[in-house]
A and B are shown apart, each in its own frame.
Chain A
Amino acid sequence: MNEPPVLRQAWRLVRRELRGGLHGFGVFLGCLFLGVFAISAIGSFSAAARSGLLADASALLGGDLEVRLVHRPLDPAQQAYLRERGQLSGVLELRTMAASLDTERRVLVELKAVDVAYPLYGQLPLDPEQPFQSALALDSGDYGALVEEAFLQRLSIRVGEKVRVGAVDFVVRGVLKAEPDRTIRAFTLGPRLLVSRSGLDATGLLQPGSLVTYAYRLRLADREQVDQLKLDLQQQFPDAGWRLRSWREAAPRVRFFLERMNTNLTLLGLCALLVGGLGVSGAVRGYLGKKVLHIATLKCLGASARVIFVAYLLQILLLGLLGAATGLLAGGCIPFLLDWLLGESLPIPLQPGFYPQVLLVAALFGLLIALLFSLKELGIACRVPAAVLFRGYVETERKNLGKKVWLAILLTAGLLILVAVLSSSDRRLAGWFVLGALACFLIFRLLAGLVIAVARRLLRPQQPALRLGLANIHRPGAPAGSILFSLGLGLTALVMIVLVQANLNSMVSDSIPAEAPAFFFLDIQPEQVAPFEQLLNDSAGLVRLERYPTLRGRITAIAGVPVEQAQIDPKVRWAVRGDRFLSYSAVMPSGTQLSRGGWWPADYSGPPKLSLTADVAAGFGVSIGDRLRVNILGREIDAEIANLRTVDWSTLELNFALLFSPGVLENAPQTHIAAVHLLPEAEESVYKRITDALPNVSAISTREVLANVSRTLARIGAAFQGMAGIALLTGFLVLAGAVSADQHRRIQDAVIFKVCGATRRDILLSFAAEFALLGLAAGAISILTGGLAALAILKGLMDAPFNFYPGIVFATLAAGIGLTLLLGLLGTWKALGQKPAGYLRED
């Protein structure tokens, strides 16, 4: 008689086994569902946002091509050149103050002035509905303005009321419900105020040196021609000093942010899935543990180890598919759900859809994790000796797995690492994540071994419950290993999250130095300097005033090398990214710390010299004697570095990376910037006096800016907390699974304990002692691993300072361990209530 193929034999067994339902696989399915859901949800959301951004790229940019300049408009020849190639629209942006005529409140606004061609793409939905251009037009002697809802709230006014901007009173004619070309910025200084170009001209805010951004948008007949046009523009006007962006590069920061967020959140999701792997392993162990006699019977009846292995492997894969498929379905629906629930209020246009690549990667993660964490248990199960049937008890020691199973485990792990690294846009980060995860697993494996070994060698405590609790940890087949693993990883995630959060929070609050200026005043015209200072000197509560003339300029060459070709440390790349504020000074500003070189004489009148901050000099690889070329309002100035200053930017003192020697910039158009230190009680009155008297001067409140930063960090943090919450939930699910997988043994023990005279209190105390000891051990090591992970995230990814907050960490651990104890005892409640007679009779 020929033996049927292994697969057919195995499949027959699978069908019969699964007829019994999915009992015992709740944790298995739950862990896979949560992990795959997390990864597919974030992947689908990112893909939908990317597609949305690409589909709306021209609307996001405001045109097919944008030409952007700071301080100055395009000259007529440049404008004519562009006008010949498509439909042109000009937009100006600046920050200024707006005041309510009724409530007398003032607010810093992000003002945008548009021409009649605006918008070239997209729509601006208004409330109440009305034609866009007529909402801004001059009507009955008043210009119209459109504002964000936040603007109305800040000034406590309603649509129809007037606001003063510069010399003009605008009527607020409606609320902007959306603004397609507003760059999605996590951080803004004030709400949007949109007016017509003619309205802005009438305000008198456009002064020489005012910080105004000019953006010219072009709509092309064929937007695919945009790259050629960019090249033509660069050739035609090589010294224009503008920034060109095509629709292909729309919202680069958003895309970068999305990419980064996707990578980080996916790795956190993978973290959840890895923790879930322990749940998978526990569930498979529990399931196969109950099948030992069944497997032994099959073997007695002639089933080979191979048939047993394949049969249970097929079951695991089928269940893995079920868990992953439900996770994928839920995760894949997230973009649809968000679009349906939030729609236009989302800051990013979503293009909902099922993204096969994203779903495939998430499914692969799920299946590989299911496989990786099941193989060992499958290997053990197929080696169950048939002789078990003839003995009262199953051998508790673990069997050797054999080479083939180990090889399969290694291959699966390798494949998982490969998918994790290849599917990430930041492979270096993914690589570090893999190393971190491996280190974590190794640490907890060693820890589990260590705790069990220590528990075995410790002197037997006098207290019977403590003695039993301790013994429970090191007994053969005890779940201490898996509890330590799941609890340890869960607590590691918890410690990491609270430490990152605490450090980010304190970074914001600590960054308000005790002597931080209350306000920065921008755009003070040269002729306003005297009245400005007079107003301040007349005010009670002025502590200190720092004021500098400012211009905008961009560095074009470093030590003779054009910026585009220069080697620049990424940390100081900001200094060459477009125009930066710069200033000049004859005398060394008070509080300056020179690290190299000396300050020029106060009456210096020689060739241009430059004082550079030491961090920028180090990032540029230059020192004193080297030269920088700076383009200021179209004029190239070549200056020698005379000295290097050490600047602590976190003090919020007024500082400039570049300070010129006297005699170079005095005659260039410029404005002044002032940092004003005030007594807290004087802040409101000074703010009002200055903005009343000098309406074009913008006032930035340090307090408000930092509150804004906090809000931004909180928004970003919320996404991470959500994902970390899933990781944590999975951790507790795994823990519950580990406890429940062990429940059968606990019931058995509890019954025998009762027969031997143990009270419920004795049993409860022994279980509590076991969980408390495991919780303490896992908590102790979590401080180390969670702390290291937080350090890596803060220092490595965010370049932020790291502080250890023992109070927060210990409180977190106490809560985590307390919850574990509760969960563990709840899980063993059934064991406590078990009536011995029923169990003894069944046996």
Chain B
Amino acid sequence: MADPIIEISNLQLSLVGGAGPVNILRGVDLRVMSGETVSIVGPSGAGKTTLLMALSGLERASSGVVTIAGTRLDRLDEDALARFRRRQVGIVFQSFHLVPTMTALENVALPLEFAGASDALQRAQAALAATGLSARAAHFPGQLSGGEQQRVALARAFVAQPALLLADEPTGNLDRETGQLVMDLLFNLQRELGTTLILVTHDPALAQRCSRSIRMADGQLLDLAEAQP
């Protein structure tokens, strides 16, 4: 049996808004095994994206414990979290979040460059090739279509071969056909590299492609269902 890569216990997360503190996550418990693919579904405002942020260390828990690949995130400072992400986590966003003034190749190379890899560009080139975008390496994000931009984002997320991939509505800004292509690519890469995938989506069909689906509402995980392969 594989080891757990994600262990969350009684995770609470409140954010302070204009009208006072808002409890986004209210006692989340979760355990995900290495290599698993898990989808998180639920209505808008349920806390799905916040859960991803907490998993990546981009958002700090108000209480509770998040352990990823054996590392307790609450014990890391901001820079240690950055180093942790660089080694363990890849993230794909709905709105891509590429650096607009960097070429596709430079965008993909970024995590490797921060990790001090001397062959960052070569590996980035290979990652771009894996997403079928070799010819677009020198293009800036503004010169790429939405689907192409998301493929660059995928290449960037996978280039450092992270143990965990977090994807937040990766097809939300794409048409059905392009979305399908991107997701095929994502699952292929995940399978090839054995990466654990946490996928936030509104699309039930997409959720079905994961080995497990979790429903979230009002900051809590309501039910857990094993997907039918």
- Residues of chain A touching chain B, judged by Cβ–Cβ distance below 8 Å, are 391-396, 460, 462, 464, 467-468, 471, 475-478, 745, 748-749, 751-762, 835-837, 840-841, 843
Among B82, B91, B111, B142, the residue within 8 A (CB) of A396 is B142
Is B129's beta carbon under 8 Å from chain A? no
Contacts of A841 in B (CB 8 A): 49, 53
Say yes or no: B99 contacts A752, CB within 8 Å.
yes
Which of B35-43, B114-122, B182-190 has 4 or more CB atoms under 8 Å from chain A?
Answer: B114-122
Which of B62-70, B100-108, B193-201, B203-211 has 4 or more CB atoms under 8 Å from chain A?
Answer: B100-108
Q: List 20 A-B contacts (CB under 8 A).
A: A392-B142, A392-B146, A395-B142, A396-B100, A471-B106, A478-B101, A748-B100, A749-B99, A752-B98, A755-B56, A755-B91, A756-B85, A756-B110, A756-B156, A757-B85, A757-B160, A837-B58, A840-B93, A841-B53, A843-B97
Among B59, B83, B173, the residue within 8 A (CB) of A392 is B173
Among A460, A748, A837, the residue within 8 A (CB) of B59 is A837
Is B74's beta carbon under 8 Å from chain A? no
Say yes or no: B114 contacts A464, CB within 8 Å.
yes
Nearest-neighbour CB distance to chain A for B194, whole angstroms, equals: 20
Contacts of A758 in B (CB 8 A): 82, 86, 110, 114
Contacts of A751 in B (CB 8 A): 97
Nearest-neighbour CB distance to chain A for B189, whole angstroms, equals: 17
Say yes or no: A393 contacts B116, CB within 8 Å.
no
A388 — nearest CB in chain B belongs to which residue?
Answer: B142
Say yes or no: A757 contacts B111, CB within 8 Å.
yes
Say yes or no: B95 contacts A757, CB within 8 Å.
no
A463 — nearest CB in chain B belongs to which residue?
Answer: B116
Given A752-B98, A754-B82, CB of A393 within 8 Å of CB of B141: yes
Nearest-neighbour CB distance to chain A for B181, whole angstroms, equals: 17
Given A392-B149, A757-B87, A758-B110, 12 more A-B residue pairs with CB atoms under 8 Å apart are A392-B142, A393-B142, A394-B142, A395-B142, A396-B101, A460-B121, A462-B118, A755-B91, A756-B85, A756-B86, A756-B114, A762-B82
Say yes or no: A468 contacts B95, CB within 8 Å.
no
Nearest-neighbour CB distance to chain A for B56, whole angstroms, equals: 8
Say yes or no: B99 contacts A757, CB within 8 Å.
no
For the complex of A and B, 6 pairs with smallest distance between CB atoms: A757-B86, A393-B142, A475-B101, A759-B79, A837-B59, A756-B110
B87 — nearest CB in chain A belongs to which residue?
Answer: A757
Say yes or no: A464 contacts B141, CB within 8 Å.
no
Is B29's beta carbon under 8 Å from chain A? no
B115-148 at interface with A (beta carbon < 8 Å): 115-116, 118, 121, 140-142, 146
Say yes or no: A757 contacts B83, CB within 8 Å.
yes
Give the docked Cα–Cα distance between A224 and B38 (Å). 103
Is B96's beta carbon under 8 Å from chain A? yes
Contacts of A468 in B (CB 8 A): 113
Contacts of B141 in A (CB 8 A): 392-393
Give the docked Cα–Cα distance between A460 and B118 (Å). 11
Is B78's beta carbon under 8 Å from chain A? yes
Contacts of B53 in A (CB 8 A): 837, 840-841
Given A392-B146, A762-B114, CB of A755 within 8 Å of CB of B79: no
Contacts of B78 in A (CB 8 A): 759-760
Say yes or no: A464 contacts B113, CB within 8 Å.
yes
Nearest-neighbour CB distance to chain A for B107, whole angstroms, equals: 8
Nearest-neighbour CB distance to chain B for A805, whole angstroms, equals: 41
Nearest-neighbour CB distance to chain B for A640, whole angstroms, equals: 80
Contacts of A749 in B (CB 8 A): 99, 101
Among B59, B83, B101, B116, the residue within 8 A (CB) of A745 is B101
Among B85, B101, B146, B173, the residue within 8 A (CB) of A755 is B85
A749 — nearest CB in chain B belongs to which residue?
Answer: B99
Give the docked Cα–Cα distance between A554 and B34 (Å). 106
B162 — nearest CB in chain A belongs to which residue?
Answer: A757
A474 — nearest CB in chain B belongs to which residue?
Answer: B101
B137-185 at interface with A (beta carbon < 8 Å): 140-142, 146, 149, 156, 160, 173
A832 — nearest CB in chain B belongs to which residue?
Answer: B78
Given A475-B102, A758-B82, A759-B79, CB of A753 within 8 Å of CB of B110: yes
Say yes or no: B91 contacts A477, CB within 8 Å.
no
Say yes or no: B102 contacts A471, CB within 8 Å.
yes
Say yes or no: A843 contacts B95, CB within 8 Å.
yes
Give the docked Cα–Cα distance between A391 and B100 (Å). 12
Give the docked Cα–Cα distance between A760 and B121 (Å). 23
Contacts of A394 in B (CB 8 A): 100, 142
Given A761-B79, A837-B59, CB of A392 within 8 Å of CB of B96: yes
Give the docked Cα–Cα distance between A460 and B121 (Å). 10
Nearest-neighbour CB distance to chain B for A768, whole angstroms, equals: 16
Give the docked Cα–Cα distance between A47 and B60 (Å). 65
Nearest-neighbour CB distance to chain A for B160, whole angstroms, equals: 8
B78 — nearest CB in chain A belongs to which residue?
Answer: A760
Nearest-neighbour CB distance to chain B for A478, whole angstroms, equals: 7
Contacts of B96 in A (CB 8 A): 392
Contacts of B85 in A (CB 8 A): 754-757
Contacts of A392 in B (CB 8 A): 95-96, 141-142, 146, 149, 173
Nearest-neighbour CB distance to chain B for A398, whole angstroms, equals: 13
Give the docked Cα–Cα distance between A840 and B58 (Å). 9
Among B56, B97, B115, B160, the residue within 8 A (CB) of A752 is B97
Nearest-neighbour CB distance to chain A for B52, whole angstroms, equals: 10
Contacts of B110 in A (CB 8 A): 752-753, 756, 758
Give the docked Cα–Cα distance between A757 and B161 (Å). 13
Say yes or no: B114 contacts A391, CB within 8 Å.
no
Nearest-neighbour CB distance to chain B for A294, whole angstroms, equals: 18
A757 — nearest CB in chain B belongs to which residue?
Answer: B86
Give the docked Cα–Cα distance between A619 and B111 (Å). 74
Give the docked Cα–Cα distance between A394 and B87 (Å). 32
Contacts of B156 in A (CB 8 A): 756
Which residue among A460, A471, A755, A835 has the maximum number of chain B CB atoms within 10 Å of its CB?
A755
Nearest-neighbour CB distance to chain B for A69, whole angstroms, equals: 78
Say yes or no: B100 contacts A393, CB within 8 Å.
yes
Given A393-B142, A396-B142, A478-B101, CB of A757 within 8 Å of CB of B149: no
Contacts of B97 in A (CB 8 A): 751-752, 755, 840, 843
Contacts of A393 in B (CB 8 A): 98, 100, 140-142
Contacts of B91 in A (CB 8 A): 755
Give the docked Cα–Cα distance between A759 and B79 (Å). 5
Contacts of B121 in A (CB 8 A): 460
Contacts of A467 in B (CB 8 A): 113
Contacts of B49 in A (CB 8 A): 841
Given A754-B82, A759-B83, A840-B53, CB of A477 within 8 Å of CB of B113: no
Contacts of A475 in B (CB 8 A): 101-102
B88 — nearest CB in chain A belongs to which residue?
Answer: A757
Say yes or no: A760 contacts B111, CB within 8 Å.
no
Give the docked Cα–Cα distance between A464 and B99 (Å). 16
Say yes or no: A760 contacts B79, CB within 8 Å.
yes
Give the docked Cα–Cα distance between A502 and B151 (Å). 61
Nearest-neighbour CB distance to chain B for A837, whole angstroms, equals: 4
Among A477, A748, A759, the residue within 8 A (CB) of B82 is A759
Give the docked Cα–Cα distance between A757 and B113 (Å). 9
B19-61 at interface with A (beta carbon < 8 Å): 49, 53, 56, 58-59
Nearest-neighbour CB distance to chain B for A278, whole angstroms, equals: 21
Say yes or no: B58 contacts A836, CB within 8 Å.
yes
Say yes or no: B142 contacts A756, CB within 8 Å.
no
Contacts of A760 in B (CB 8 A): 78-79, 82
Contacts of B95 in A (CB 8 A): 392, 843
Give the docked Cα–Cα distance between A471 and B118 (Å). 17
B106 — nearest CB in chain A belongs to which residue?
Answer: A471
Say yes or no: B114 contacts A757, CB within 8 Å.
yes
Nearest-neighbour CB distance to chain A for B114, whole angstroms, equals: 5
Nearest-neighbour CB distance to chain B for A17, whole angstroms, equals: 25
Give the docked Cα–Cα distance between A392 and B156 (Å). 18
Which residue among A392, A460, A757, A835 has the maximum number of chain B CB atoms within 10 Å of its CB?
A757
Give the docked Cα–Cα distance between A620 and B48 (Å). 94
Contacts of B115 in A (CB 8 A): 757
Contacts of A835 in B (CB 8 A): 58
Give the docked Cα–Cα distance between A758 and B93 (Å). 18
